[in-house]
Amino acid sequence: MEQSRALPTEVDLSRPSAARVYDYFLGGAHNFEIDRQLAEQIAAMTPNLADTMRAGRAFLRRAVAELTRLGVDQFLDIGSGIPTVGNVHEVAQAINPEARIVYVDIDPVAVAHSRSILEDNPRTAVVQADVRDPAYIIAEAKKTGLVDFSRPVGVLLAGVVHFVPDDDDPERLMAVLRDAVAPGSYLVISHSTYEDQPQEMLDAQKLSARTATEITLRSKAAVTAFFGDWELLEPGVVHMPLWRPDSPDDVDDNPARFGAFGGVGRKPT
């Protein structure tokens, strides 16, 4: 995809964008030369990274399928990204066609493409917002009429909280989200880590500083703390492939190489 007049006006083409770099790694078409250059540079340093991103999508798919089977029929997907194969609405609505999803992303390309592919899906909506403003996200999600906050909601934060630096107080924003939802709601988090990582992976993460959204790697303890006092579903916060794999083949010989933890928590009733 190259610059065209159809693009949303706020697209910044002077810097790579995390959403477009991610799209490139997943084989999507919604990226620009500046994104591809950064992606290739990161890929040359860490050949594992495309696998990491696919493992992240696979974790999200398994978590959404599990929550839908547990009866969750409304989702708030924050940092949803540029639509790609196996989107949350596809996974959830394949199990429950009535499931409703509000997608939220800060990136104008992600938002514009999400809107265009979801035009014909009345049980989805797209909001452009910053995860650092959770009160605004909740208010906008309410306005869509798709999420009833008096009932359990699946709040998805897949690969997004690591874009919130410590200075922006991620603990506070997580607390606001946890407080806004009804008992019986679930929180799905995946988050990059420095634990058990080779130095080249850590060096590649530093390149994210060139995007508008730099990554902050965190420990397992810090990721676990984002769930507050919620009950963690088995097996807890683990390297992503270890979270309820569909088959033993899903579990890599070295699940730590994916460089991110995943977990699902439930708000006590």
Applying CB under 6 A, which of residues 16, 28, 81, 152 lies at the interface with ligand SAM?
Answer: 81
In this chain, which stretch among 43-51, 130-138, 231-239, 242-250 interacts with ligand SAM, using CB under 6 A? 130-138
- Give the whole-angstrom CA distance, residue 207 versus residue 15: 12
131 part of the interface to ligand SAM, by CB under 6 A: yes
Site membership for ligand SAM, residue 160 (CB under 6 A): yes
Give residues with Cβ within 8 angstroms of 269, minimum separation 6. 183, 184
Q: How far is the CB of 103 from ligand SAM (least distance, A)?
A: 9
Tell me which residue has its CB nearest to ligand SAM.
81
In the complex, least distance from residue 218 CB atom to ligand SAM, rounded to whole angstroms: 15
Tell me whether residue 63 or residue 248 sits nearer to ligand SAM (CB atom): 63
Position 28 contacts ligand SAM (CB under 6 A): no
Q: Which is nearer to ligand SAM, 163 or 227 (CB)?
A: 163
- Whichever of 14 and 150 has its CB closer to ligand SAM, that residue is 14
Is there binding between residue 63 and ligand SAM (CB under 6 A)?
no
Hey, which residues between 100 and 119 contact ligand SAM (CB under 6 A)? 105-107, 110
Contact range with ligand SAM by CB under 6 A, out of 6-14, 113-121, 157-165, 217-225: 157-165
Confirm or reject binding of residue 170 to ligand SAM (CB under 6 A): no
Residues that bind ligand SAM (CB under 6 A): 18-19, 22, 56-57, 60, 79-81, 105-107, 110, 130-132, 158-160, 163, 213
